Amino acid sequence: MKLQQQDPQIYDLIKKEITRQKEGLEMIPSENHTSEAVLEALGSRLTDKYSEGYPGMRYYGGCENVDVVENLARDRAKELFGASWANVQAHSGCPANQAVYFALCDPGDTVMGLKLFHGGHMTHGLKLNFSGTIYHSVQYGCREDGFIDLDEMRSLAHEHKPKLIVTGGSAYPQIYEWAKYKEIADEVGAYLLADMSHVAGLVAGGMHPNPVGIADVVTTTTHKTLRGPRGAIIMANGNPSTPLTKVERSKENIPTLVDRAIIPGLQGGPHNHQTAAIAVALKEARQPAFKNYAKQIVVNAKTLAEELLSKGYQLVTGGTETHLLLINLGNKDITGKQGEKALGLAGITVNKNTIPHDPRKPFDPSGIRLGTPALTTRGMKEAEMRVVANMIDRALTNHGDENALTRIHDEVKEMTKNFPLSPKLA
């Protein structure tokens, strides 16, 4: 209650946000609900400690406890994903990807990634991002059917000979074919970075192919399907040099190169409270129940897709094999921006999103992106997905009728009373 007394304004805003989440359906596929244990670690006194360096090699004293915390997080990441090396210090996903660029490329080197507006991520070479300004960015895209265009990817790779090829994305509803991407990278002598941020929880739960052991280096956030705090992990196979000395740029030295890129290259002290919360989430992801959770995410997404297809909605790639759906609203006489607003008023949070080859502008695109991780965390299953699909359809159909949208929100509030935010871990 100290926050309420000391800063009631912030306290009230936090309470309002909790209420918004509890009484709504969080369907942005990059969002999830953490466990109470993760939140407890995140709000701990570990936030007070500086610990620049790595366990056993710190620039500060008093790190005996945070050393153990970081080693637990690294060991749990390695065990969960089958890597021999992990770095858990990157403050989030963008800094994790930046560290890989910093480690493996020089300014001006050619890099190649999936176009943001075809489902990629801004750190995969967007011209306005560091990845497209510091480096020479070449972008591959998706075919008209929404699937990644492997032929274009191969052709561009052979033409431009990139130093680094980035794979993965943020709005792609199909399986990432890591092995095929690696073939292309090997053909041109490029490093392959697999950014599995969106599907890491599905990988951990056995519902998506694991890029560790295929890609040269793997990055992931920890707060999406992995259901942890905001943070990131970088993984590869190999062992870093000790102490962190300058080494030549090679695949065998990736662990040392990335460790050096994080500190002293790009960051100072790690966020120890965040590291502890990541460790807690990784322990949760190692439990048998997490496999059931990952399976249910995909089952729920497929059920939602089937219901929306039956109502005449156009899904990019025709459906989903993951946790997310990308819907083209072009045939429904509504834009993505209008759809996001209408669903928001109905208590259903999604985001407007471009579709591959979108004729509309990014700030008012043709599509919306939605997913099932957070709803699955709350315990919802196929029956609820059918109800949600009906709500989505009614909200989009009545997007100009605020009274109708308010009535749907009332239904959402009633439905969510039976589904608490905290995940069921057993």
Find all residues with CB under 8 Å of 98, minimum gap 6, and list them.
Answer: 123, 130, 131, 266
243: preceding bond cis by omega (within 30 degrees): yes
Could you tell me the CA-to-CA distances from 163 to 100, 112, 185, 190, 192 in Å, in that order? 12, 8, 9, 5, 9
To the question of whether residue 116 is assigned a binding role by annotation, the answer is yes
Catalytic residue from among 31, 52, 177, 358 = 52
Could you tell me the CA-to-CA distances from 322 to 41, 98, 125, 171, 208 in Å, in that order? 29, 26, 24, 10, 8
In one-letter notation, the amino acid at residue 65 is N
Rounded Cα distance, 209 and 272, in Å: 30
Catalytic residue from among 221, 317, 354, 376 = 221
Find all residues with CB under 8 Å of 61, minimum gap 6, and list them.
Answer: none
Active site residue 224: yes
Which contacts qualify for 302-307: CB closer than 8 Å, 24 or more apart?
A: 303/382, 303/385, 303/386, 303/389, 304/370, 304/372, 304/385, 304/388, 304/389, 307/385, 307/386, 307/389, 307/390
Catalytic residue from among 22, 49, 230, 407 = 230
Active site residue 221: yes
- Burial (0-12, 13-18, 19+ Cβ within 10 Å), 407: middle
Rounded Cα distance, 253 and 247, in Å: 7
Rounded Cα distance, 355 and 336, in Å: 10
Cβ–Cβ < 8 Å for 220, 282:
no
Rounded Cα distance, 266 and 232, in Å: 14
Catalytic residue from among 31, 50, 180, 341 = 50
In one-letter notation, the amino acid at residue 121 is H
Catalytic residue from among 115, 224, 302, 394 = 224
Rounded Cα distance, 209 and 407, in Å: 41
Active site residue 230: yes
Catalytic residue from among 70, 195, 321, 384 = 195
Which contacts qualify for 410-417: CB closer than 8 Å, 24 or more apart?
A: 412/23, 412/24, 412/25, 412/346, 412/347, 412/348, 413/23, 413/24, 413/347, 415/384, 415/387, 416/22, 416/23, 416/24, 416/25, 416/378
Token output for 370: 């939605």
Residues of each annotated binding site: 116
Catalytic residues: 50, 52, 195, 221, 224, 230
Residues of each annotated binding site for (6S)-5,6,7,8-tetrahydrofolate: 116
